[in-house]
């Protein structure tokens, strides 16, 4: 475990100008470099023809070190869903998933290598925490996604197709490896870098960013005070503390009532619906009475429930709910007037390939709730 090298994306624009000045260059070079990285997704000196050649290579080697090396890529649906496995400078591995839809492109990113929260149904949790990712390591996953959306060969400007809804990453979900709020500073800085306009950042809308948490109450409160308008997703998985203590061990520290109270404060401060994530596990948390309890806990709040059929990890004693049980669960939660959808399980084969359902999908009945939907006919296809 060691610190990744400093990168442009770790710094705010003013800090980048200062860093460039410290390297003996004019401050506006920081803006030029930033336009290349955040606007054109390039860190290759040869692409930076508006900078003198000697300056380019000096600045690039100091401020644009390579952070991610592709270890493996899995694709399905003719490349519409791509799972990328990255090796970091110290050998740690993280994954991200790029999902293309007709009207949007969603990128699922990791915030930590591993995770220390120990949820027993989660592959990442079973492996424990390796280390926090730096801000730039998080941003670099999205920049890599942007690059992957570009045609492989450069075309003359006149032949460049008009930008479409799917030519850029439009949505980000912090649902890859790690607990984002346990790496608070880097994650919040990454959100700013992803959402600040070019040249400060990538210019993605804050409303299209979802931060998913296991329920670290002090960090949810801190996030509420940031003044961001990102969506908050809370991984609840049980409506009662007895079950949640087992499924989400951090519940022994912050109980359901406290987590939901912090979530409602977040919704009130931002005006945004909180998403409640609930993995349905056969005979563990899928009983009708738990559906009723969940519905009554959430009724009347600015909320949306995402039910996720459990994606069993290798060797897991748990499995997904029996046919019919999920439908009954949905019906009971909805009977309380709570918006609820079941996340699509398509694309599971590539999720399973890396052990965790890193691609967080939502589907189904309310299209506007869908952050991520995986395409049909998913097959694992090792590309590298």
Which amino acids are annotated catalytic? 95, 354
Q: CB neighbours of 298 closer than 8 A, spacing ≥ 6? A: 260, 276, 305, 333, 336, 338
Integer Cα distance of 282 and 122 in angstroms: 15
Coil, strand or helix at 92: coil
Q: Is 277 in the site for ligand SAH (CB under 6 A)?
A: yes
Map the footprint of ligand SF4 across residues 297-336, applying CB under 6 A. Answer: none
State the binding partner of 305 from ligand SF4, ligand SAH, none, CB within 5 to 8 A by kind.
none
Tell me how long the chain is. 384
Q: Is 359 in the site for ligand SAH (CB under 6 A)?
A: no
Q: Using CB under 6 A, which of 339, 360, 370, 378 touches ligand SAH? A: 360
Please work out the total of residues on this chain that contact ligand SF4, with binding judged by CB under 6 A.
11
Cis peptide bond N-terminal to 199, omega within 30? yes
Q: Using CB under 6 A, which of 140, 172, 214, 243 touches ligand SAH? A: 214
CA angle 340, 343, 348 (to 5 degrees): 170
Name the CA radius of gyration of the chain, rounded.
21
Per-residue x/- marks for ligand SAH, 306-325, CB under 6 A?
Answer: --x-xx-x------------
180, 168, 108, 143: which is closest to 374 by C-alpha?
108
State the binding partner of 361 from ligand SF4, ligand SAH, none, CB within 5 to 8 A by kind.
none
Integer Cα distance of 202 and 192 in angstroms: 9
- Is residue 111 within 8 A of residue 174, CB to CB? The reply is yes
Q: Is 214 in the site for ligand SF4 (CB under 6 A)?
A: yes
- Among 36-44, 95-103, 332-340, 355-363, the segment contacting ligand SAH (CB under 6 A): 355-363
- Is residue 132 within 8 A of residue 186, CB to CB? The reply is yes
State the binding partner of 279 from ligand SF4, ligand SAH, none, CB within 5 to 8 A by kind.
ligand SAH
**Total Cβ atoms within 10 A of residue 42:** 17
Per-residue x/- marks for ligand SF4, 107-146, CB under 6 A?
Answer: --------x-xxx--x-xx---------------------
State the binding partner of 81 from ligand SAH, ligand SF4, none, CB within 5 to 8 A by kind.
none
Integer Cα distance of 250 and 238 in angstroms: 13
State the binding partner of 311 from ligand SAH, ligand SF4, none, CB within 5 to 8 A by kind.
ligand SAH
**Total Cβ atoms within 10 A of residue 345:** 17
- Is residue 294 within 8 A of residue 247, CB to CB? The reply is no
Please work out the total of residues on this chain that contact ligand SAH, with binding judged by CB under 6 A.
18
Q: Is 235 in the site for ligand SAH (CB under 6 A)?
A: yes
| Interacting residues toward ligand SF4 by CB under 6 A | 115, 117-119, 122, 124-125, 178-179, 214, 235
| Interacting residues toward ligand SAH by CB under 6 A | 115, 121-122, 175, 179, 212-214, 235, 277, 279, 308, 310-311, 313, 356-357, 360
């Amino acid at each position: 475990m060691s610190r990744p090298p400093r990168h442009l994306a770790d710094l705010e624009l003013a800090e980048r100008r200062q860093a460039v000045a410290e390297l003996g260059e004019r401050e506006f070079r920081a803006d030029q470099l930033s336009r290349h990285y955040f606007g054109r997704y390039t860190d290759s000196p040869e692409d930076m023809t508006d900078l003198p050649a000697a300056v380019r290579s000096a600045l690039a080697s100091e401020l644009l070190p390579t952070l991610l090396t592709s270890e493996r890529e899995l694709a399905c649906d003719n490349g519409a869903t791509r799972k990328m496995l990255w090796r970091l400078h110290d050998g740690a591995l993280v994954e991200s998933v790029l999902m293309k839809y007709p009207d949007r492109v969603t990128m699922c990113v990791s915030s930590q290598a591993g995770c220390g929260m120990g949820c027993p149904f989660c592959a990442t949790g079973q492996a424990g925490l390796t280390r926090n990712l730096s801000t730039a390591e998080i941003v670099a996953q999205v920049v890599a996604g942007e690059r992957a959306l570009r045609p492989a060969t450069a075309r003359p400007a006149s032949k460049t197709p008009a930008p479409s809804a799917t030519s850029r990453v439009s949505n980000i979900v912090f649902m890859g490896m790690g607990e984002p709020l346990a790496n608070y500073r880097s994650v919040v800085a990454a959100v700013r870098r992803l959402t600040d306009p070019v040249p400060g950042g990538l210019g993605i809308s804050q409303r299209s960013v979802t931060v998913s948490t296991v329920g670290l109450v002090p960090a949810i409160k801190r996030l509420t005070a940031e003044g961001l308008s990102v969506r908050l997703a809370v991984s609840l998985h049980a409506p009662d503390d007895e079950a949640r203590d087992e499924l989400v061990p951090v519940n022994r520290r912050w109980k359901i009532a406290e987590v939901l109270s912090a979530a409602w404060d977040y919704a009130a401060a931002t005006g945004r619906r909180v998403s409640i994530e609930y993995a349905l596990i056969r005979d563990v948390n899928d009983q009708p009475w738990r559906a009723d309890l969940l519905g009554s806990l959430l009724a009347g709040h600015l909320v949306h429930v995402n039910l996720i059929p459990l994606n069993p990890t290798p060797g897991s004693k748990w499995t997904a709910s029996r046919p019919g049980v999920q439908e009954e669960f949905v019906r009971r939660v909805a009977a309380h007037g709570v918006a609820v959808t079941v996340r699509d399980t398509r694309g599971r084969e590539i999720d399973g390939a890396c052990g965790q359902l890193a691609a967080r999908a939502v589907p189904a009945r309310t299209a506007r709730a869908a952050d991520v939907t995986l395409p049909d006919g998913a097959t694992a296809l090792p590309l590298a």
